[in-house]
């Protein structure tokens, strides 16, 4: 009874770093310099989802140099990983560039006489006045954690309370014009890469037959589908299709309905046997709490899964809070990908080292994402990625940054 009351109280308030096992900075840090490196990166394999196709992405790399009390300097780097048009969320590389134009000056406001940063809360407080723009904020926060890891001589996964030496990982396959084209990619993922699970994009007209073909050939693989909000939760034909997906023993159906509709995912889809995963609907800790309360009311928490993308929720500290809240309520989570370069992918691996992240993430592709990446990705083998152990992200100095 006491534990239940504590958990209920925890669901309605924020978390402090020490409550969730995060080792934060305590010594005063002064922001000596803040800048952003922008890079256009060509994909080796174009990607198509229900709402867009792209073959080139712009990546931003915030760089922060902190001056310690003894005068020494430490530099950290993060990554902002927007898509090239606002079809996933309202963000794209143009909006991220605009947001960074406000965030970066906020970090150096006050010049040499500025107050020091004394922890993640005081760091975020400098740019909290900027409303929205989570992808830009996540990249800036990533630079902070990279620097703090270097200051402590610790991998970021250890700062964040991660305990795993390697993490399970899967792949995300885009829409294909034919079933055979999709099956060719699934075969590479399952038979050559041996990923821990396969995720495929679906939309009306490219769903049941595609999934049936995969299941017929690979009856035992862990399989999930992602709709990116392509189905109308009030359209009988769409609801019938989603119900028929119960036939294929899927891990989850990810974001079947609109981004801004948490309540109807819980209420309208309560009768499905397949768990529903929310992705675009969850923009922060409050939204995760709303989803949990709605699933308690209309469905069952074992049928709710949350995909935590740090760029979507505004940063890694918020991502850790969401993971902890879900764990306290028995909700599974995993770390999704946004076609990050090696730096951002490595940050996701560090986050996935936490015990609450209990399902495979989106971290492996059929080929390296980009023709020319900024670093080497974590070492992969048989469905797992090694968590880097060096200070910060463990990447050394990224190439060209």
Instruction: Establish whether 203 is a catalytic residue.
Output: no
Catalytic residue among 137, 150, 199, 201: 201
User: Does the annotation mark 296 as catalytic?
Assistant: no
What gap in Å lies between CA 218 and CA 195, rounded to an integer?
13
**How many residues appear in the chain?**
401
Q: Which ranges in 218-278 belong to alpha helices (H)?
A: 236-244, 262-268
* Lookup result for tokens 């609109």: 258
- Dist CA 199 CA 187 (whole Å): 13
Q: In angstroms, rounded to a whole number, what is the distance separating the alpha carbons of residues 339 and 365? A: 9
For the record, the structure tokens of 390 come out as 């060096």
Measure the N-to-C terminal CA separation of the chain; round to a whole number of Å: 53
Maximum separation of any 2 CA atoms in the chain, in Å: 66
Q: 392 - beta bridge partners? A: 155
Tokens in use for 323? 């993971």
Q: Identify the active-site residue in 150, 199, 309, 345.
A: 309
CA pair distance 96, 1, nearest whole angstrom: 46
C-alpha to C-alpha distance for 155 and 150, rounded to whole angstroms: 8
DSSP code string of 215-273 = HHH-TTS-EEEE-TT-S-TT-HHHHHHHHHGGGG--S-EE--S-TT-HHHHHHHTTT-S
Helix (H) or strand (E) holding 94: helix 93-108
Q: Are 100 and 36 in contact (CB under 8 A)?
A: yes
Question: Residue 330: how many CB atoms within 10 A of its CB?
Answer: 12
Rounded to the nearest 10 degrees, the angle between the axes of helix 342-352 and helix 316-328 is 30
Q: Could you tell me if 54 and 46 are in contact, meaning their C-beta atoms sit under 8 angstroms apart?
A: yes
Q: Which residues are catalytic?
A: 201, 309
């Amino acid at each position: 009874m006491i534990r239940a009351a504590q958990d209920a109280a925890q669901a309605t308030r924020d978390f402090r770093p020490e409550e969730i096992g995060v080792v934060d900075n305590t010594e005063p840090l002064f922001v000596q310099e803040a800048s952003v490196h922008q890079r256009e990166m060509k994909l080796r394999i174009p990607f198509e989802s229900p709402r867009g196709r792209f073959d080139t992405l712009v990546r931003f790399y915030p760089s922060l140099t902190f001056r310690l009390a003894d005068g020494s300097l430490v530099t950290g780097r993060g990554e902002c990983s927007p898509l090239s048009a606002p079809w996933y969320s309202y963000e794209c590389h143009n909006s991220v560039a605009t947001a960074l134009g406000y965030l970066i000056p906020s970090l150096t406001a006050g010049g040499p006489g500025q107050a020091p940063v004394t922890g993640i809360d005081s760091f975020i407080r400098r740019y909290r006045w900027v409303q929205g723009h989570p992808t830009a904020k996540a990249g800036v926060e990533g630079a902070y954690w990279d620097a703090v890891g270097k200051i402590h001589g610790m991998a970021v996964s250890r700062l964040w309370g991660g305990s795993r030496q390697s993490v399970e990982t899967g792949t995300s396959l885009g829409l294909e014009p034919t079933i055979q084209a999709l099956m060719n990619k699934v075969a590479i993922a399952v038979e050559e890469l041996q990923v821990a699970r396969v995720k495929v994009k679906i939309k009306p007209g490219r769903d049941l037959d595609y999934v049936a073909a995969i299941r017929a050939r690979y009856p035992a693989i862990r399989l999930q589908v992602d709709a990116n909000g392509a189905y109308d939760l009030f359209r009988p034909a769409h609801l019938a299709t989603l119900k028929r997906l119960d036939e294929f023993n899927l891990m989850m159906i990810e974001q079947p309905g609109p981004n801004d509709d948490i309540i109807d995912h819980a209420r309208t889809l309560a009768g499905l046997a397949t768990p529903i995963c929310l992705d675009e609907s969850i923009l922060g800790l409050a939204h995760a709490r709303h989803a949990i309360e709605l699933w308690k009311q209309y469905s069952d928490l074992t049928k709710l899964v949350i995909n935590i993308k740090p760029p979507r929720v505004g940063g890694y500290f918020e991502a850790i809070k969401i993971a902890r809240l879900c764990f306290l309520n028995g909700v599974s989570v995993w770390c999704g990908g946004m076609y990050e370069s090696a730096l951002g992918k490595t940050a996701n691996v560090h986050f996935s080292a936490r015990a609450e992240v209990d399902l495979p993430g989106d971290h492996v592709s059929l080929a390296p994402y980009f023709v020319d990446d900024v670093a080497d990705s974590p070492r992969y083998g048989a469905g797992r990625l090694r968590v880097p152990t060096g200070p910060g992200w463990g990447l050394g100095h990224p190439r060209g940054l």
